[in-house]
Structure 1
Amino acid sequence: MVMIEKMNGQMEAFIPEKVIVSAIKSGAPLNIARDIAEQISGDIHDGMTTQDIKVQLLLLLKSRNPEWEQNWFSWRYGSEQVSDAIIGQDIISDDVIPSIVQ
């Protein structure tokens, strides 16, 4: 079982289904969502952060369909403004979100 570090510093087991759900909520069909989760699962290692996983997910969504990446931001943060402001940035951080929304 691979343990990943959450934003609050706690460790938890990596659950590929969470990646699948995120991809589906972004607009990816189930078969592609599973493929993305499989790709990410192959790169997972102990101590990896949820931030690292999020960046991988967004890159894979964008490579399949750039709209899915934007949909992820809209789903996650509930704002088209946020997704439009962040799309294209090399570093994706929750620290950026509050400053964009304000």
Structure 2
Amino acid sequence: MDDRRLFDVGFADSPPPEHEPEVSPRGHTRYGARARNRIRRGEHPLTGGLLHPDAIADPAVREGGPRCGTCIHITTPVGHRGKTWRKCDLIGGGSEATDLRRWWPGCSDWKGTA
């Protein structure tokens, strides 16, 4: 076999494949499913610790009770190219894995905004 053809795989002619997150039949990503399962078990999706005693441990209910969106620890730091991500100042971190959702039930360290 000709050595030139052995390594000619056509990368220059085709665009790189785009990464697609795994999606469930209902349209949820795998990360979202993991967060919903933690909530059902009474765990906070980000910390893995216990939920606030008054929090609603049902991921289908997105209002009422202590929520991350009403906590004094929520921050929105400005990241690369001016984008913002909601973070918890108790956790820190700079990746997508430490992003939080406002609808998540509050953790045991939840403190409401005045």
Instruction: Using structure 2 for the length normalisation, give the TM-score.
Output: 0.26
Bigger helix share: 1
- Greater Cα radius of gyration, structure 1 or 2: 2
